Structure formats: structure tokens, C-alpha cells
Amino acid sequence: MKIGVISETLQGERRVALVPNVAAKLATFQVAVQADAGRQAGFTNDAYRQAGMAVEADRAALLSTADVVLSVQAPRLEDVALLQSGAATISFLQPATQGVVIEALAARGVTAFSLELLPRISRSQSMDALSSQASLGGYKAVLMAANRLGKFFPMLMTAAGTIPPARVLVLGAGVAGLQAIATARRLGAVVEAYDVRPTVKEEVKSLGATFLELELESQVGQGGYAREQSEEFLTKQRKLLAERVAKADVVITTAAIPGRRAPLLVTAPMVKNMRPGSVIVDMAAETGGNCEVTQPGQVVQVDGAWIDGTTNIPSTVPFHASQLYASNVTNLLQHLVSNGQMKLDFTDEITKGCCVTHNGQVVNERARQMMGATTSSQAA
């Protein structure tokens, strides 16, 4: 079985799907990487060769001969046209925005797996690329905020006087939020956090942050994610959060619902009430943003506050993001392969959960819903 690793073509994407030190796990397979695929992440062609991988300059030849193609982002339509019928792909397929590509993969007879659709169970933790990348994103978001904020994060006591610590508010206490809390605390900030899931309260407190107690209904959805909330709930939530946002020097927003627009948490009036020079880093910018005035892919100043809408934050730390992603992908691949060949068991929760296309059809109900499909199909 030949495994092909292609370079990423999306603007700003610096990660690579497989790195040399992880490739050793796939030593029993023929593994080839497109030339310079790892360059932006810090991995040279020679490093891949030393790890026993072939380096191929011809992308089209690699795609047309690989049995399994690994990438970070979904393949392009022109890439899909080159794949063998019966081949497989593993990536972040993003069904909500890549429906045309998914339909093309099905039509081509490709079996495609999407990492964001992995079921959140204990057996899949080592494959959970969403969590590994979110953790890096939460860390980097705090550093981005600290770099832009015109204040110290920690308390500073000097002969000239005492500088109080920065106040950081983290909205959303999933993987990214918890890492943001931990990073802000390590930098010496006073941290508050809010999440619609009361079950995360103890995790927040264990990191040294204050959990904002808002007497509102629990909003826990499928798989432990926050579920989509009613407009009535959101209106009450914004009112209760307005005071905390106004007092914060930094706000990190991390709330996301898979396949849906990010919930609006920070309104334009809230931004207007923030102190000049305050910073918001909106980690949900790619899906519309948690802040009303976020401009995806841009850093703007609104009413004196900085709004950072940087997208694909994990890609700004590409070396370690690629290492973690490569481990996730390799662990999933090893789960899908038996005796050197891909053998799919659709009674297995992991396989069934992340397989999107197979035998010429879109077989994943969650993916179909994200794509706007009205009918369902089951994998055999």
C-alpha cells in the first residue's frame, strides 16, 4: 500500500500531514511525500529521505499512484480528479464548506475520512486532531493578545510603583479555552472564564481561573460540545457578560459549534465599552466570529479596542502543529489498516463516525447535514 503526503495549497496553511519522526510508525508501507511539503513547517526533503520516505516532485503522479492520500486541508477539485477509484484520503474535510469536493470524492469512488467527525470517545483520543490543534491555538491566541496589549500580564512591583496584573476573560472552556486559561495564568494574568456547560467549572478552577457563575440553563450538546443556543438565551447571556467584557484587558473567544456559524458572544456595544487598547482574539473568526465586529483574517481597531480575527491560528505554530497532527493521522490510519491493507469495519464506531464517502456515496449523516442534505445514507 502506497501512502502519499501532498503539500498544502491553501493560502496561509503552513502545516504538513506527516513529519519524519512520526513516519517511522509507517515503516511497513511505501510512503512518499511531495517535494517541499514540509518546508514551511521546518521539515526538509532530506529529513524525509533519512526517515525512509521517498520525495516526489510530481504532485499529479503522487496523487494518481497513492492508495491513501494524507493532507491537512481538503484536497482540491483538480486533485480529486487525479485520485484512483478505490483510493482513500484523510484530512479535515470541512463538510460545511467543502460540499462540492465531498460530492466529487464520492463520484470518483474515493473513500474519504474527515478528522473533525471522529466520535469523542476514549478510544479515539490519540486520533483527535481537533483537540490537538485547538490546544495549540489556545496557547498561541494568548501570546498574540499579550504581544498586542500595551500592558504587562503579570503584577510588577518596582520602586516606581506597582503595576497590577492584566485581566483576561476566556469565553468557552473547551480544549482551546482551557489551554488559553493555563497560558494566561502562566503569564501572570488574573483570569476569568465562562462556558455554557457547567460541567467544566472544576477544570477551570483547577487552572487557577474564576468560573463566572451565570444562572442560566445548561447548554450541553452532542459529543460534549456546546449545542446551538436559542436567541432568547443568547440575549440574556450577552447582557450578563457585558460587565465582565468591559472590565477585561483581553478577551479570548473560543466558542464554536461544528458545522454551524459561531455563536455571537461579544456585541459591538460591548466592544465600545472596553477600555482603549484592550484586545479581543476571536478564535472562531473562520466560522463568522464570536465578536460582532470581527473581520476574518484581519486585525482591526474598533472604538479603541483591537479585534484580532486571525484565522487558522494552529498554522502559526506549524512545527508542533504538524507533529501532533501527524500523530493523530497515523493513529487513525493504523486503526483502519489490517495486515498491510485498508479493511473497513463499519460496525466500528470510529470508522463509521469519520468516514464521509465510500462506494460512490456520501455515507456520513453528520456530513450530509452539514452539507445541507435532506436524505440519509448508511454505510454497509
99-113: pLDDT as tens digits: 999 999 999 999 999
Q: Which CATH superfamily is domain 134-311 in?
A: NAD(P)-binding Rossmann-like Domain (3.40.50.720)
* 139 catalytically annotated: no
Catalytic option among 125, 218, 376, 378: 125
Strand runs (DSSP E) across the chain, as ranges? 2-5, 30-34, 54-56, 68-73, 88-92, 111-114, 156-158, 161-163, 167-171, 190-194, 210-211, 250-253, 279-282, 299-302, 305-308, 337-338, 341-342, 355-358, 361-362
221 has a pLDDT exceeding 90: no
> Comparing 31-35, 151-155, 210-214, which segment has the lowest mean pLDDT?
210-214
Alpha carbons 286 and 16: distance in angstroms, whole number: 20
14 is catalytic: no
Q: Which three cell numbers stand for residue 234?
A: 443568547
Q: Confidence band (pLDDT; 50, 70, 90) for 236?
A: confident
pLDDT at 223: 52
Comparing 10-14, 259-263, 294-298, 371-375, the range with the smallest average pLDDT is: 371-375
Catalytic member of 84, 126, 186, 225: 225
Are the C-beta atoms of residues 170 and 180 closer than 8 Å to each other?
Answer: yes
Per-residue pLDDT, 231: 73
CATH of the domain spanning 2-127+318-371: 3.40.50.720
Cα–Cα nearest to 135, from 92, 188, 182: 182
pLDDT of residue 220: 52
pLDDT value of position 379:
40
Per cent of the chain over pLDDT 70 is: 93
Instruction: Out of 57-66, 234-243, 270-279, pick the least confident.
Output: 234-243
368 by DSSP, 3-state: which?
Answer: helix
Choose the catalytic residue: 30, 67, 120, 126: 120
pLDDT of 82: 98
What average pLDDT does range 321-327 have in this prediction? 98
How far is it, in rounded angstroms, from Cα 173 to Cα 193? 7
Q: Is 73 a catalytic residue?
A: no
Task: Look at residue 374 in the predicted model and tell me its pLDDT.
Answer: 33
120 is catalytic: yes
pLDDT of residue 314: 98
Confidence at residue 229, expressed as pLDDT on a 0 to 100 scale: 62
Q: The dihedral of CA 366, 372, 377, 380: what is its sign?
A: negative
To the query of whether residue 275 is one of the catalytic residues in this protein, the response is no
291-297: average pLDDT:
97
| The predicted structure's pLDDT at residue 375 | 38
Neighbours of 290 (CB within 10 A): 24
Residue 380 has what pLDDT? Answer: 37
- Please state, rounded to an integer, the average pLDDT across all residues of the chain: 92
Mean pLDDT lowest among 24-38, 173-187, 206-220, 245-259: 206-220
**Residue in this structure with the C-alpha cell 436567541, named with its chain if needed:** 231
Torsion of CA 93, 95, 99, 101, to 10 degrees: 10
Position 256 confidence tier, pLDDT thresholds 50, 70, 90? confident
48, 71, 94, 128: which one is catalytic? 128
Task: For CATH 3.40.50.720, list the domain ranges present in the chain.
Answer: 2-127+318-371, 134-311
Block residue for cell numbers 459591538: 268
* Per-residue pLDDT at 377: 38
Predicted pLDDT of residue 227? 54
CA distances from 177 to 248, 251, 275, 311 (A): 16, 11, 23, 16
